[in-house]
Amino acid sequence: MGTALVCIQTVKEIEARSSEVTAPLLIVHGELDVVTDPEGSRRLYETAASTDKTLRIYPGMWHQLIGEPPENVDKVFGEIYAWLDTHASQTS
């Protein structure tokens, strides 16, 4: 019960302060996630103040992206690494 309460409080805090996010932002989410609704990620993407933001909703994937079949894990993490690589090279 305590964990659920903290999760709800955290989500509310993120929603209330999402417009303060100005750093480059990558959001990844599984389309079939039943633990956290992908709509929350869409709202975060829409309300974040960052001008450099990317939202990736992965069709057919669930909550724990690392627990997907190997080809899906490779796809997701390949895109994450590529995003990080691009953004790291922009700061140097």
The CA–CA distances, whole Å, from 79 to 1, 3, 6, 64 equal: 35, 31, 31, 16
Q: Using CB atoms within 10 A of its CB, is residue 45 exposed (0-12), middle (13-18) or buried (19+)?
A: buried
**Among 5-14, 29-38, 73-82, the least confident range:** 5-14
Model confidence at 90, pLDDT cuts 50, 70, 90, reads confident
Run of H or E residues at 38: helix 38-47
What are the pLDDT digits (tens) for 47-82?
Answer: 999 999 999 999 999 999 999 999 999 999 999 999
CATH number of the domain located at residue range(s) 2-91 in this protein: 3.40.50.1820
